[in-house]
Chains A and B, each alone.
Chain A
Amino acid sequence: MFASTGDLVIFAIRAGLKLGQQGRIAYAEATIKRELVLPLPNFNPEASQGTADGYFSGQGKIYLEALPRLKELYDKSIKGQDLSDSEKREYVEYYLDFKREDDIRAGIIRGDEIRLTTEALLSLVKVRQWSLQKSPFPSAYQRILGTLIEVGIDYFSRNPDLIDSKSATGRALLGFLNSIDDLDLASGEPDVLAQKLFVAAIESISENPDLLGADRATEHLVETFSRGLVADINRHVAKIGEKDLTKKERLYDWAQVVLRSILSSSGSVILENPSTYLAIDQPAQQSLVSSVGRAILDLLIEDETLNLENLFTRRAIDNLVGAALTTLSEYPSLLGVDNLGIKKILSQVAGELASSVKELGPDMLPEIMRIILEKTAVNAELVWPDGFQDPSKHLLITASKELLEELAKPPTDGSKWKPRLSRDQILDVLEITLDEVVRNPQWLIEMADGTDAYLGAAVKAAINALEKVPPNRITASTAGAVIKEVIRAISRRRDFLDKISVGEKTGMVIELALENIVERILSDDADRKTRWALAREEVFEAIVEIVLDQLEQTGMSPESIQLLDKALEKSVQRLASGGSWGIPEFIDEVTLVMNGGINGE
């Protein structure tokens, strides 16, 4: 058998070690398989006012009519009025009574069911690694048995005289043992944030091959920006602390979007402005791009009023980043790193316009921000005259606020409707308005009577006139076009806003002129055939334009308004009596009547 006692001892120790090793594995597996008692997350186990609200809003609704007191409590609760402690108890008691009856009817409470003790309930949250029948591990007994077989094979292989390991039995035995060792359940996942940022960087750079094709400065820029972004993320993470994992996850998601956006924009804006962004020896300039990232990330994460995260799409962020980088390239030192100009603008826009955009459609906010940033780039010193310090002095933000507040106001008393402009129409009006403000910031200076700034007054005048249009006579698009025309007209001649009296009416020139047009063409008193022809979008818009042009030429006197009315009346009558009508004829007619009247002809 064994050559010597030493051989025997070595064999025995090896066998013992193998058995010990298998014992250790069995012990480890038993540890893996042990039940864990799983703690439930935090909650209040008692039925509550919220439970009762749900029940009586659903199937329990049928009980409300029968019990006036219950209905009273329900109505109070559902309207959000506070219930006193005793009312809450009463309300919840009602709920528990009716729920018990429902459960009895449904057979959930039978009287003979097993009432579980807390201990029994607790046993339900003792969870094994696997169900009893599904453990992939052999039992300790099987494992030791297997080892004994292995040891046996070892033994027999040293002693081929006793058993032939090449025999069918031996091979089968070995094959079985080897297969157990091949079980492997390894898997893994990379770190969340690192993965997100890495993927974003890889994809963006691959989509923008020009970016890294430039030179070392671009590489350095990407590195600087990425470091900045990570620093911003860390800052926000520290601020959020351990109180809101959802916010942290969103932060990671937004960081990814901002990184993609900046890297994508880098391909165009940054490379077009190399002297601003790619000065490798000037760290402050390198950090400019970071300041855009920070401004946008802060805006999204710190906002507490508008839920901005829901308003910004990837495209909106791209547009905003592009606009911000363009603006920065014009005024790098003033809007850049230390002065935080971009951040100030964006925060101010969000804060100032919050209530108006909530009313008009919050999703337009990213576009409003883009427009304001772009227009700022045209002439920042003019539109932000206090040296880029106080964002409340930014004229374009003030102008946007004035415009949007007027558009968001409910119809004035007695009006049947108010033109509801679409998102695109509002943005269109805003763009034209801001263009006019950039050309002439005087728009925002208060009028002599101290009531409104010119801009607010202009928009209000246009809307007041449009409110007099009976519902459904003109489209929102026409209304938008009229407002734009009014703004253009007033930008040329401020005296459109002068107050005058014509007959019994008193108001601003622009207001009275528009009212005349509305009354003659769109009111219920207007001839139906005329209305049919003149209320068409392009025709009505042309009439407004022609009338305002003509007033500009003839002056803003009460007489002009009266003559205008006369010209409109004449034109409308001709059309009503079956005469020909066209824009050129209308221009001639208005010119003739108004010039004739003014000249005393």
Chain B
Amino acid sequence: MENKSRRVARIKNKLFLFVLLGVILSFSACVSHIQQLREAQNQFNMAATMENQIKLGNPRSAIVSAGEATVSYRIAVKIISDLLEKNRSELQKDRLLGNAYTIKAMAEWRLGEYDSAMKTVSTALGQLGLEIFPRDRVLLQALRGLIKNDQAFAHMMEKDYPYTDIKNLLVDSLHNLDSALATAPKGSRIRLYILLSELAVLKNWADLRGEPGTYSESLPADFDKITEINEWCNSAKPVWKNFVEECKKVPEGGDSLLRDWGRRLGMPESCN
């Protein structure tokens, strides 16, 4: 009786050890690519946080942060590029490929490598059978508009492009972001992000029409500010309406967002 119970205990111990061994072996050997992707996510999040801090008026040290952000985006791109080269099938098997493409495309956008970003988007969206989850899909679709906004902003800063061409970029950017918004699931926070991006585009447009001589190299002969403001309002009104609705769903901070962006854009008074 004593021998039998000792034998059962030994078997139980063996069983536990083998199960544990199997778990450890199979787990640690198979997740290094996931760990690397998580590191890329970390780098991306770090860079985005620094960038947003600068944009939202809390520049810890704007120049250093901008430089650090660039380095972190670059690391994120490098990690994912390596992963895509060496561990593509594992990423696909773990349904992480879509997320990897999304982070890569977003980081390339922030690095100003727009062609690469669009290529990455095209590769991701063009792959039959590739699983892309909701937030990532919306982001991939929004990138076209986000890039156009930044191209317009760069031209404004350089003052190297005609007014009409910059405006075309901004208007197109809004259209693209609208399309992305239409695919964003109701109630998801990604809607707020797309709307904030649309407001940023509208802010650029307001700056451009406000000081066309400062931000563009040439004006159309029939340029008229009042006409431009009316056109701006036609685009701004629906965005603002959606934004107000979305802010109501943010229990803490919705009011603050509304107030800040209202002040930035002169909304809703500008279009009343």
**Are B25 and A20 within 8 A (Cβ)?**
yes
Question: What is the chain B residue whose CB lies nearest that of A355?
Answer: B221
User: Are A51 and B264 CB-contacts (below 8 A) given A20-B25, A102-B269, A116-B253?
Assistant: yes
Q: How far is the CA of A96 from the CA of B266 in the complex (A)?
A: 9
Q: How far is the CA of A53 from the CA of B169 in the complex (A)?
A: 22
Chain B residue total in the interface (Cβ 8 A):
122
**Are B188 and A57 within 8 A (Cβ)?**
no
Give 1 or 0 for each of A118-134: 1 = CB within 8 Å of chain B CB.
10111111111111001
Q: Which of A9, A24, A43, A102 contacts B94 (CB 8 A)?
A: A24
Give 1 or 0 for each of A286-306: 1 = CB within 8 Å of chain B CB.
000000000000000000100
What residues of B have a CB within 8 angstroms of the CB of A177 in the complex? none
What residues of A have a CB within 8 angstroms of the CB of B207 in the complex? 43-44, 48-50
Q: How far is the CA of A597 from the CA of B270 in the complex (A)?
A: 75
Q: How far is the CA of A36 from the CA of B142 in the complex (A)?
A: 15
Q: How far is the CA of A455 from the CA of B26 in the complex (A)?
A: 89
**Are B269 and A99 within 8 A (Cβ)?**
yes
Question: What is the chain A residue whose CB lies nearest that of B41?
Answer: A34
User: Are A103 and B259 CB-contacts (below 8 A) given A38-B139, A42-B153, A43-B200?
Assistant: yes
Question: What is the chain A residue whose CB lies nearest that of B73?
Answer: A39
What residues of A have a CB within 8 angstroms of the CB of B22 in the complex? 12-17, 19-20
Give 1 or 0 for each of A241-269: 1 = CB within 8 Å of chain B CB.
11111110100000000000000000000
Q: How far is the CA of A466 from the CA of B83 in the complex (A)?
A: 77
**Are A114 and B256 within 8 A (Cβ)?**
yes
**Are B15 and A53 within 8 A (Cβ)?**
no
**Are B56 and A54 within 8 A (Cβ)?**
no
Q: Which of B20, B51, B133, B272 contacts A129 (CB 8 A)?
A: B133
User: Cβ of A40 < 8 Å from any Cβ of B?
Assistant: yes
User: Are A12 and B15 CB-contacts (below 8 A) given A23-B23, A24-B34, A59-B270?
Assistant: yes
What residues of A have a CB within 8 angstroms of the CB of B258 in the complex? 108
What residues of B have a CB within 8 angstroms of the CB of A38 in the complex? 48, 106, 139, 193
Question: What is the chain A residue whose CB lies nearest that of B113?
Answer: A242
**Are B15 and A8 within 8 A (Cβ)?**
yes
User: Cβ of B37 < 8 Å from any Cβ of A?
Assistant: yes
User: Are A50 and B208 CB-contacts (below 8 A) given A15-B22, A20-B30, A108-B262?
Assistant: yes
Question: What is the chain A residue whose CB lies nearest that of B236?
Answer: A54
Q: Kindly identify, within residues 164 to 188 of chain A, every residue whose CB is under 8 Å from any CB belonging to chain B.
A: 184-188
Q: How far is the CA of A190 from the CA of B168 in the complex (A)?
A: 26
Give 1 or 0 for each of B21-38: 1 = CB within 8 Å of chain A CB.
111111100110010011
User: Cβ of B127 < 8 Å from any Cβ of A?
Assistant: yes
Q: Kindly identify, within residues 202 to 217 of chain B, every residue whose CB is under 8 Å from any CB belonging to chain A.
A: 203-213
**Are A31 and B41 within 8 A (Cβ)?**
yes
Question: Which positions in B face A, CB cutoff 8 Å?
Answer: 11, 14-15, 18-27, 30-31, 34, 37-38, 41, 44-45, 47-49, 51-53, 55-58, 94-96, 99, 103, 106, 110, 112-115, 118, 122, 125-136, 139, 144, 146-151, 153-155, 161-162, 164-165, 168-169, 172, 185, 187-190, 192-193, 196-197, 200-201, 203-213, 219, 221, 223, 225-226, 229, 232-233, 250, 252-253, 255-260, 262-266, 269-272
Given contacts A16-B23, A59-B270, A80-B219, 16 further A-B contacts (CB under 8 A): A12-B15, A16-B26, A19-B22, A36-B103, A38-B139, A40-B197, A99-B266, A116-B257, A121-B260, A123-B253, A126-B189, A129-B135, A130-B135, A188-B128, A188-B130, A242-B114
